[in-house]
Structure 1
Amino acid sequence: MKGVAIVPLGLEDAAREELEGLGASEAEVLKGAVLFQIKDCEELAKIAYVSQSADRVLFHLAHFSFADIRQDVEKHIGKVENFGDFAFEGMSFRASCERRGEHGFSSPDVEKLLGDALHRLMKREYGVDAAVKMASPDVTFFASIVDDSFALGIDFTGFDAGKRDYKIFLTPVSVRGTISYGLLRYAGYRKKHTLLDPFVNDGAIVIEAALYASGKPVQFYRKDKLAFARLAPFREKGVSSLFESIDKKIKKEKLPISGFDAAFQYVDYGRKNAKIAGVEKVVYLSRVESEWLDIKFREKSVDRIVTKIPEPSRKLVSKDVQKLYGELFYQAEYILKDDGKVGVLCRDLAVLEPHYAKYGFVIERQKDVWTGEQRLCMAILVKWK
């Protein structure tokens, strides 16, 4: 059987790497999604529970490129053959659509079209006259449209997982949890690494690293909201044993993960969000200015520095921001291991060039990612050898 992970644009490769580590195989990158093979529904449910890169995890029904949305949806929905395990008499359903790109139709247009086509399919193939229910239906059919790419599946998640439940205390530059995790993946962060975020913001990078390194599922506190528990394959046997098999592996020892910031408010936000995520005891968050990093860390002791760099604002003038950039790479040159890496998320990488070049860093790779309509740049920098 196949699954589909819906992911932020630009994070498809990071998601593929994570999914393969979670038991998926034959992963194929689509636009804003990753298609993969998985053993069974229980393994797909586990991915929905723990995946940090996926906004949603779906049981795959169809994917195709379209020219005429109405004709192509009708054609491809009529060919869906693998829905039998999810259909039962008296079931309720809804169709949901998320669009990215410019289109001559709206998401509600697609939801109406999709709902009608699926209702006819269920009645014709399985004799099920399913009722439409907008709130907490038994089955949600989710369609992801990116430009002319259409992916359809049964939603195993049930909500936008990129909006983390721990992100209660936010800043004007907060980004989605999936993007914070994607930056860690892009930087090659591993569980054994010593990690530093010197501009902690709302704590998301530190928290995502802690969830990954400790094995704590990102949906640990949203078990009751996960949609797969309402699906037919789980209605009789339940999902308690599935959760227990994963939760018993959570590690509780202190991790070499640190988050610093010069602004106490941001450190406070990070601590509060980490507490909500249940990882406050395994990470270290403190008010430390970047110029003191060489006091906190020995020479060549840090594997990864991963951060969303500060930008000029009403409270932080451009001159001060430039000073922070210079201090970051001055300190990184000292505390970073020779094979260490700096991963940054920013809107304009060019503003960093005079600073990283001055201290002997070069760009190893870079790519654009998207959060809504906003383009951001991920870049990995290494010491020149």
Structure 2
Amino acid sequence: MSYHQDRLSTLPRGSAMKKLDFFATTMTGIEDIAAHEVKELLGCKVTPDIGKVFYKSDLDSVYILNVAARTLNKVMLNLCRSRFRDLDDIYRLSRGIDYSWLIDPDQSFAVRSERVGSHDFTSIDVSRVVGQAVIDSYLETSRVRLKVNLDSPDVEIYCLVRGDEFLMGVNLTGESLHKRRYRIYEHPAAIKPTLAAAMLFLSGWKGRGRLIDPMCGGATIPIEAAYIARNIAPNKSRRNYNFLKLKIFSCSEFMRSREQILKKEETRKPEVYGMEKYRFHLEGGMRNAEEAGVSGDIRFKLGDATVASDYPEECFDFFVVNPPYGIRMTPKRIKLERLYELFLSAVKEVSDNSILVLITAAKRKFRKALEKVDLEVLSYREVLYGHLNTTIFKCRT
């Protein structure tokens, strides 16, 4: 089955009404959550895939997702999705696309490629072949040989080879959206904001009730929780996007769309708490919250998550936490399974019919702790966190 789009040059320049094919990348394991978010933001049909979601929409969707999406990494214009047999097929597919409606003659480009599976070529080979195909296609349509700039291109073309599937798109985002601008303090085991947001969505948090991250570290989870509660766009302060270099997009339309998104912010004060055992990390988290503009929405407390008496006196509806996985723990510290057991016991003591969402790379140890404390597992899912296989558990206390 082929998804190849032979020619896209029929799009009127500057038109925001034409429906185009897009895909957005996310973490492997949370694609359904990302798909639901995109559907909520755009109101269109979204299809989840491995590490990405596909959708069809207008140019305005690019502005909306880059500013407001919480679980996405990059938004891409989908140029080609097809089965292939060899590099010759990849060249042919790439060569058959008209790039003149996207790239100006004086602009440079680069091809970034990923490869998953067993092949007799490398990702570098893919970039080389596609790069030549782009040059040849543009030379035919515009009589201009495009410049290549691998360090700082005007246009970045992304290619993914997975098994016998070839996917090609234009990176409309640039640097990944998970790099929030508020992270001025980096905790050594900080969770990605996109993953934190996915865990919050999974918990059912919408800003009502009380939520705590009892091992908050740099406060990523509490900050993202406050953002969700107040409908604050996570990338509202960002200005550097790749799509602004493309002639089919309008800076004025982007600013107009951004202003509409910012008007939807709410002023209500959510009940979000962050607790941390180590003062240095707690103070770092407080600085991050201030940078994020939500320091007044999060109540911070110095305390040990394994000690029930250290928790605030309030009853919590949601516990969302990224505990130690045992990777950086020294032999002198408490054993991981025992840490989980003490933590779950404390949570059970200070809660009543609450939701706990937790991520760990030590699935077996956490399951043993769950059995000892007797907490109900509502669901769990495997998530590829970088190169680390992790599991997100959703439990009822």
TM over 0.5: yes
Q: Is the 8 A contact 1:195 1:306 kept in 2?
A: yes
Report the alpha carbon displacement of residue 118 of structure 1 after superposing the two structures with TM. Answer: 1.7
Report the alpha carbon displacement of residue 103 of structure 1 after superposing the two structures with TM. Answer: 5.4
The farther-off stretch of 310-319 and 272-281 is: 310-319
Q: 2:74 aligns with which of 56, 63, 66?
A: 56
SS at the partner of 2:72? coil
**In 1, Cα distance between equivalents of 2:92 and 2:335:** 58
Q: 2:88 aligns with which of 71, 75, 83?
A: 71
**In 1, Cα distance between equivalents of 2:323 and 2:161:** 31
CA deviations on 1:192-246 (whole Å, 9 max, x unpaired) are 24221111122221222222222222222321x1111221123574532222121
Q: Is the 8 A contact 1:52 1:178 kept in 2?
A: yes
The farther-off stretch of 274-283 and 15-24 is: 274-283
Letter in 2 for 1:155: N
Matched residue, 2:3 = none
**In 1, Cα distance between equivalents of 2:247 and 2:371:** 57
List gaps (5 residues or longer) in structure 2.
Answer: 1-19
Residues 89 and 202 of structure 1, relative CA distance in 2, 3 Å threshold: same
**In 1, Cα distance between equivalents of 2:276 and 2:369:** 19
Matched residue, 1:158 = 174
Report the alpha carbon displacement of residue 320 of structure 1 after superposing the two structures with TM. Answer: 6.0
Letter in 1 for 2:61: E
Normalised by the length of structure 1, the TM-score is: 0.87
How does 1:1-385 map onto structure 2 within 5 Å? 1-38=20-57, 40-68=58-86, 70-80=87-97, 85-99=101-115, 104-125=120-141, 129-146=145-162, 148-223=164-239, 225-235=240-250, 237=252, 239-290=254-305, 291-292=307-308, 296-298=312-314, 301-312=315-326, 313-314=328-329, 317=332, 319=334, 321-338=336-353, 340-383=354-397
CA deviations on 1:37-93 (whole Å, 9 max, x unpaired) are 22x11222211222221111111112234442x123223224436x56424343332
Report the alpha carbon displacement of residue 110 of structure 1 after superposing the two structures with TM. Answer: 2.3
Residues 84 and 382 of structure 1, relative CA distance in 2, 3 Å threshold: farther
Residues 178 and 104 of structure 1, relative CA distance in 2, 3 Å threshold: farther
Superposition RMSD in Å: 2.7
Residues 33 and 23 of structure 1, relative CA distance in 2, 3 Å threshold: same
Normalised by the length of structure 2, the TM-score is: 0.84
Report the alpha carbon displacement of residue 344 of structure 1 after superposing the two structures with TM. Answer: 0.7
**In 1, Cα distance between equivalents of 2:339 and 2:254:** 48
Q: Is the 8 A contact 2:218 2:284 kept in 1?
A: yes
List gaps (5 residues or longer) in structure 1.
Answer: none
Residues 77 and 200 of structure 1, relative CA distance in 2, 3 Å threshold: same
Letter in 2 for 1:88: D
**In 1, Cα distance between equivalents of 2:333 and 2:365:** 11
Report the alpha carbon displacement of residue 177 of structure 1 after superposing the two structures with TM. Answer: 2.2
CA deviations on 1:95-119 (whole Å, 9 max, x unpaired) are 2224456655443332222211122
The percent of aligned pairs where both chains have the same amino acid is 21
SS at the partner of 1:48? helix
